Structure 1
Amino acid sequence: MKKYSKSGAYPFHMPGHKRNALLYDGTMPYEIDLTEIDGFDNLHNADGCILEVQSLAERLYNVRKAFLLVNGSTGGILSAVRAMTNRGDKVLVARNCHKSVYNALELCGLNPAYIVPNIDNNFGINTSITPEQAESAIKNNPDATLLIITSPTYEGVVSDIEEITKIAHLHNVRVLVDEAHGAHFPFSKAFPNEAVQSGADVAVTSLHKTLPSLTQTALLITNKEELIEPLAENLAIFETSSPSYVFMSAIEKCLEYCQNQKAFEEYIIRLNSFNEKCKELKNIKILGYGNDNIKNHSFFDFDISKLTVSVRGLGISGTQLADRLRNEFNLEPEMVCSDYVLLITTVCDTQDGFERLINALRIIDSECSVKELNIPPINPKVPRLALNPSECYGRVGAFTKLENSINKISLEYVWAYPPGIPIVAKGEVITKEVVNAVKEQTESGISVYSTKGRVPEEIYCII
């Protein structure tokens, strides 16, 4: 791309900036923003330089086929769900899936049956989907054709994909794993096994989330020969026909970097060092770090790259902790919840970054005191589905005050982002627990969004 931009070739083609030097201000890479001109291959029919990048991804992830995604894991999820189902199919869905999965259910006219993960009572996060839960769901829905699971979760919780896949395949159920937060798994034995290597039929993984690539770049990967063509056909629907060459070159650079084994070895050393220093913390708990033993949690496996910092019983909220990290220590977290703050680490984090974080946590920890918490065990409920998501499309409803919406059917999705997991999904009956969850989030200073944009005041539902 750099070589071509200096070749003197004049562009009587897109993009409209024409690589005009008058536009260069050091912020936008106009000079290398190319399109499908001669010699630069085609994403949807790759046989040249793009194919070389795909081949590199296939070698690194040890898969039969890797598709480059330039509109994030969302495009991969939509494409995979449509490629792996027929309209009207029954689909088993972990209820902590990203909202893109629910959009796929609606677009593809699928009938979902939800699997609700248990809650870890110490940190208030979702635990693993167990093989027993998967088997029960399959037996209760013998007509199901696909199982969709998020692993790892935002907080790094991993499910037993190998055992779940064995069970699913015995019943002719395919398995799709949203592995958006696990792109780094293949590059160190300190991380869990990746989904496709564990038997999953298809996985989607976001390079930009936990590896050094640009935002919006991801991979769709599979070992199933029979799925390659359907996946390609659906990517041509859901992925742009004008892919960014800047993004695709970022994928190439990322994959080349990931061959640097020493970089990942040094990263694990930094994580282990941070873990040791966390043992000094008296009050603040970090999931799987310091004095918190991951064996005390109901997880099949855990991704050590995620730092979930709990404030339960410390007299401050997750929002207040995030504000202190941001305003006093110039540290910006990934996600804020009422009970915890999530920080993402990657191979590109520096020792200085880890030192700044542990120093900030030491100071905040010294100012906190633990209060005895009497939190009753949380028993998550399977939401009552009155309508399939696809049946909600075009339905006429009305905006109703949140407190008056209990027992009505939602015609929109309501979620906090991140992580983008619906608090209530289209077609579900709104419960008192849903209303309380929305109120709790907003009162804690966390932004809650909805399809129609009026939550938390009103929700669009069937009267």
Structure 2
Amino acid sequence: MLYDKLKSYKESGIYPFHMPGHKRNDIVNDGILPYNIDLTEIHGFDNLHNACGCIKEIEKKAEKLYCVNRTFLLVNGATGGILSSIRAMTNFGDKIIVARNCHKSVYNAIELCGLNPEYILPDYDEKYGVFTSVSPHKLELLLTKNPETKLVIITSPTYEGVMSDIKTIADICHRHGAMLFVDEAHGAHFQFSDKFPNEAVKCGADVAVVSLHKTLPSLTQTALLLTNNLELSEKLQENLSIFETSSPSYILMSAIEKCLDFISDNKSDFEAYTNRLSDFYNDTKSLKNILILYNDKSFLENCFDYDFGKIVISSAETDISGAELGKILREKYKIETEMSYTDYVIAMTSVCDTDEGFGRLKNALFEIDNSLIKIEKNYDDYNFSEIPERNFNSFQKNSFNSEKIMFKNAQGRVSLEYIWAYPPGIPLIVPGEVITDKLINQINILLENNIQINSTKNSMPDYIYTAEND
């Protein structure tokens, strides 16, 4: 409906004395950028922050497809939904429980909202260096120890596709009087095949965000906020008006609409997609040195469930790193993967992938596999399954004198910056936490493996802003 209105308006002959400044003219004259359907909130085109017309119809379409009571369109990515949801579900100073492997946008929300986090470490697979599921038992112990907890935040699926038991976790949270927010950014496709795990809100989460652009055919920055908790709807809308742009892109909103239409009209494509995935996993079981993680039964024993749409290619038992494997795939085979880490590569798939694409990846892996040697590695060097000592909460960081020092000399100092590897964008240390020799060594190993390390003030990898450890 919105897309058709945009096309019709383009052809109407109406002159645009309004934003955007390109006035629907293709200034590069190549037909690639859709200038001619880029509009603002003019008459008849609804308003994202008070939807009652064509945008409201897109929300209703999403609610029907995802089987939820309320959906909000997100054009600032899942990040806007994460910030808005956490602020809507808490008050300043609240105690919350947060899975330590959450995306940095969750940590930004904690800082902005002045929250007091208690961290829970998901289980960790030391062999492959991957966080697995959040333990419901450990969470219940933590909630019992912290009865004032207002909100629990977890990521499921993780970047590697690992799922937690959302139904059991939601039941535990609600029994202890806490709400549950799930960063489900990488699980937008779950609803559309029973071969994938169940969607978080369906399992009892109070609120979840899904990124359409990650695993479905939509444009970058498009996402949805999902909830069955209608009592939260007004607060969610209020906070979306704070964190989401007041000039939302009609191109992005129409992309959401066309993505939802695609899902409705092409349900059989998801069966073909999951069949391609199953064939790929079966065919790659015979790799000798490289391992596709979800083909390893011992790894699966550590996971509640997993999204097999994430192909996690492990080089943990070979003589190359994940970064080297990613480079070979890129330079020799013209295959660009989503992420290369210390000892694995992630190939993200979607319903739009082809037989030819899966075949190219499979053939490349078998060729590479034949050139590798199986070896043992020391995984303790980059095991991040510890929570650093905390001196103060992140929102208090501006109360301390800042000193820029060389990172290699920062042992014992308190960080005033977030440091994270990107991707996946999970903080390795948070403002207020103490820097240790082990952390310095671990980050140096990541750098040696050509993993990109970022920090809040772009001082890394050479320098870091710190305070004294009082």
Counterpart selection for 1:315 from 312, 319, 340: 319
Quote the residue 1:285 is aligned against: 291
Return the letter of the residue paired with 2:291: K
Tell me, yes or no, if the aligned pair for 2:290 and 2:317 is still in contact at 8 Å: no
Q: Report Cα offsets for 1:118-172 as digits up to 9, x if no partner.
A: 2112311001001012111111211110000000000000000110110110111
Q: How far apart are residue 280 of structure 1 and its match?
A: 2.4
Secondary structure of 1:329's aligned partner: coil
Return the letter of the residue paired with 2:164: S
Return the letter of the residue paired with 1:456: P
Q: Does 1:437 align with 2:442?
A: yes
Secondary structure of 1:299's aligned partner: coil
Quote the residue 1:412 is aligned against: 417
Quote the residue 2:33 is aligned against: 28
Tell me, yes or no, if the aligned pair for 1:120 and 1:297 is still in contact at 8 Å: no
User: Quick one: structure 1 residues 211 and 296, their matched pair in 2 at CA, closer, same or farther if it must change by over 3 Å?
Assistant: closer
User: Aligned ranges for residues 96-115 of structure 1 at < 5 Å?
Assistant: 96-115=101-120
Tell me, yes or no, if the aligned pair for 2:133 and 2:163 is still in contact at 8 Å: yes
Q: Does 1:89 align with 2:100?
A: no
User: Aligned ranges for residues 229-248 of structure 1 at < 5 Å?
Assistant: 229-248=234-253
Question: In structure 1, how many angstroms separate the alpha carbons of the residues matched to 2:161 and 2:380?
Answer: 24
Return the letter of the residue paired with 2:359: E
Q: How far apart are residue 403 of structure 1 and its match?
A: 2.2
Q: Report Cα offsets for 1:362-407 as digits up to 9, x if no partner.
A: 0000001212446569682232221111111353311122222122
Tell me, yes or no, if the aligned pair for 1:118 and 1:379 is still in contact at 8 Å: no
Counterpart selection for 1:273 from 279, 291, 296: 279
Q: Does 1:460 align with 2:460?
A: no
Deviates more, 1:175-184 or 1:18-27: 18-27
Indicate the percent of aligned positions where both proteins have the same amino acid. Answer: 54
User: Quick one: structure 1 residues 42 and 135, their matched pair in 2 at CA, closer, same or farther if it must change by over 3 Å?
Assistant: same
Return the letter of the residue paired with 2:226: I
User: Quick one: structure 1 residues 224 and 411, their matched pair in 2 at CA, closer, same or farther if it must change by over 3 Å?
Assistant: same
Tell me, yes or no, if the aligned pair for 2:71 and 2:226 is still in contact at 8 Å: yes
Hey, which bits of structure 1, 4+ residues long, moved more than 6 A?
none
Return the letter of the residue paired with 2:45: F
Quote the residue 2:3 is aligned against: none
Secondary structure of 2:294's aligned partner: coil
Counterpart selection for 1:73 from 53, 75, 78: 78
Quote the residue 2:142 is aligned against: 137
User: Aligned ranges for residues 117-128 of structure 1 at < 5 Å?
Assistant: 117-128=122-133
Question: In structure 1, how many angstroms separate the alpha carbons of the residues matched to 2:31 and 2:345?
Answer: 34
Structure 2 length as normaliser, TM-score? 0.96
Return the letter of the residue paired with 1:310: S
Q: Does 1:204 align with 2:237?
A: no
User: Quick one: structure 1 residues 32 and 296, their matched pair in 2 at CA, closer, same or farther if it must change by over 3 Å?
Assistant: closer
Secondary structure of 2:32's aligned partner: coil
User: Quick one: structure 1 residues 297 and 363, their matched pair in 2 at CA, closer, same or farther if it must change by over 3 Å?
Assistant: same
Return the letter of the residue paired with 1:270: R
Return the letter of the residue paired with 2:322: G
Question: In structure 1, how many angstroms separate the alpha carbons of the residues matched to 2:285 and 2:467?
Answer: 52
Quote the residue 1:38 is aligned against: 43
Quote the residue 1:306 is aligned against: 310
Quote the residue 1:263 is aligned against: 269
Tell me, yes or no, if the aligned pair for 1:54 and 1:68 is still in contact at 8 Å: yes
Deviates more, 1:374-383 or 1:124-133: 374-383
Deviates more, 1:354-363 or 1:304-313: 304-313
Q: Does 1:191 align with 2:196?
A: yes
Structure 1 unpaired stretches of 5+ = none
